[in-house]
Amino acid sequence: MSNENPSLVPEAACLYVVGTPIGNLADLSERAISILSKVDCVACEDTRVTGLLFSRIGIKRPLIPYHDKNEANATNGLIQRLKSGESVAIVSDAGTPAVSDPGFRIVRECRRQGITVVPVPGPCAFTTLLSASGLPTDSFLYMGFLPPKSAARIRFLEKHKDYKRTIALYESCHRIEKFMNEMEKTLGPDRVICIGRELTKKFETIHSGKIVDIRPQFDQGSKKGEFVVLIAPANYEL
């Protein structure tokens, strides 16, 4: 009889929602590796990205594309596989599936059809920064990506100028400078924010403090890579 921890072995007809690293490969959990190496197939956002991850950790499993453009069709196919008894894992390119990433539809459909869904937790960019930011974590608003148009972002900031909770946002490297200007103008230079760049990677940078105080380092630093922005509650002092 095997002594293997049962949580490391996938069950038949079960969907596993598996978190993968947001940069640092060592953040892939033992349980994630075990489940990913033993499921019947893995639904992934980009087969090249997941294929590279798998080749680095020595895993070979059938990969099924599951992304924004084919989510509806791919969901039907995956549900059929699950109903026939296959175990399926879903991953995104980085972080937690379904958090500003594909995954929500297949999970919802499984829940609707009584198929078991098991989370295998892993990194998530905004909770990673939140945990190290010094900003209030007891209650927060996660908004993902704001709209790309400046006017819509400014409207959001104006609406939340007096908001009493931390706000967590994702922003692209192409807009981060512009967004910094929009925050300074709309929320004022004394608003406390935290900006995390390239979290868990070699050039990880975290600036936390009043906009006016972190601006010089931010302006001088590289704007390449991936960014998370946290906005502290109104009147919060770090």
Please give the residue ranges that form the binding site for ligand SAM (CB under 6 A): 22-23, 92, 94-96, 99-101, 124-125, 170-172, 196, 198-201, 226-228
Least separation in angstroms between CB 95 and ligand SAM? 3
Least separation in angstroms between CB 96 and ligand SAM? 4
* Contacts for 136 with CB less than 8 Å, ≥ 6 apart: 165, 166, 232, 233, 236
| Between 13 and 119, CB nearer to ligand SAM | 119
225 phi and psi, to 5 degrees? Answer: 100, -155
| Between 7 and 172, CB nearer to ligand SAM | 172
- Three-state DSSP at 31 gives helix
Least separation in angstroms between CB 178 and ligand SAM? 15
Q: 140, 166 in Cβ contact below 8 A?
A: yes
Least separation in angstroms between CB 126 and ligand SAM? 6
| Between 13 and 99, CB nearer to ligand SAM | 99
Least separation in angstroms between CB 99 and ligand SAM? 4
CA of 157: how far to CAs of 39, 83, 148, 173, 213, in Å? 44, 45, 13, 19, 20
* Residue of 132, 130, 88 whose CA lies nearest to 110: 88
Least separation in angstroms between CB 125 and ligand SAM? 3
CA of 190: how far to CAs of 129, 151, 207, 237, in Å? 20, 22, 14, 9
* Contacts for 236 with CB less than 8 Å, ≥ 6 apart: 135, 136, 192
- Token pair for 131: 């945990």
- Which position's Cβ is nearest ligand SAM? 95
| Between 187 and 230, CB nearer to ligand SAM | 230
| Between 24 and 181, CB nearer to ligand SAM | 24
| Between 81 and 167, CB nearer to ligand SAM | 167
